[in-house]
Structures are given as C-alpha cells and as structure tokens.
Amino acid sequence: SNLEILTKLNETESWFEAMKVGAVWARENTESTVISSLEGDTKAEAGEIICRGPDGDTWVQEAEKFAAKYQPTNDSPDDGFQKYIPIPEHSKVMAAKVAEPFQISTHRGILHGQADDYLLKSIEDKHTDFPESIWIVAENIFATTYKPV
C-alpha cells in the first residue's frame, strides 16, 4: 500500500532532490480515455496532457502542472506531439529508489514499479510524509531524464 512504501522510504530517509532534465513530447487529450504506461493503465481526461518520453513511455499530467514545468520548442513531429523541455526553476522533484517491486494507488489507477525503480513526489511535498500525488519512474528512464541536485 502507499502507506507502507511511504513509511519505509520516510523511515530510511531515502528521499533526495532531483531535477528533470530530459525533453518530453506532449499533446492535449481531447476525450476521456485510458493510456497504457510502463507502470499500468492510467485514466486521462479531456483537457489533460498526454506526455511521451524519449523511450516512448507515456503518462498523463494535468494541463496547469504541465504548463508550469515545461516550455515548448519548435520541434513538432507529424504525430500531433510537440517537443517540450523542462523549465529548470520548476523541474525539481523528490525521488527515492525502491529496492523491491512495488505498487501504488493513484487517482489514475494502480501503478506498478519494478525493483530499483524510483518513486517521485512534488518538490512542494518535500516535507510531506504522505503526499497525495506520487508517481513511478523506471530506473533506466530516471537515469537518462533526471539528475540529482
């Protein structure tokens, strides 16, 4: 459960600051749908942003949060996605590596992490032991799209 995994990460002081440095490709979602991500199926509502990482992984973000963290580039492939880069002063998160396979429950669905994947929370939740918003980033993706601060 979220309580179990967060309690363990808090007790072992596993959280560290990291910064998103990798580009993403994104488009606005036009209808309520389900997106298949590496961590599981996630709900996406109309108006939310569907994001795609450099390895083809997909996830959903609320439009306001996305706009605050990324700026568009002039690169727009033919598939409707536009390339965005992180805004450095708004791209910090708190991250913790999880040694064993795990799952979390989010408002978008149940997500599954593999051993050595990362659990992330917003930098605004740095001092919040049990935040509402948490998400998973696969170890190999974290290594190429985030850097410790």
- pLDDT per residue as tens digits for the range 41-78: 999 999 999 999 988 899 999 999 999 999 999 987 77
CB of 56 closer than 8 Å to CB of 71: no
pLDDT at position 55 is 85
pLDDT at 32 over 90: yes
Alpha-carbon gap, residue 112 to 101, rounded angstroms = 8
**47 torsion bin: left (phi>0), alpha (psi -120 to 50), beta (else):** left
Half-sphere exposure of 3 (CA within 13 A, CB side): 0
Residues 6+ apart with CB under 8 A from 122: 93, 94, 131, 133
Residue 138 corresponds to which tokens in the numbers above? 């696969």
Q: How sure is the predictor about 29, in pLDDT bands with cuts at 50, 70 and 90?
A: very high
Listed in sequence order, the DSSP H helices in the chain are 2-11, 63-69, 139-145
Alpha-carbon gap, residue 139 to 137, rounded angstroms = 6
Q: How sure is the predictor about 79, in pLDDT bands with cuts at 50, 70 and 90?
A: confident
Specify the pTM.
Answer: 0.89
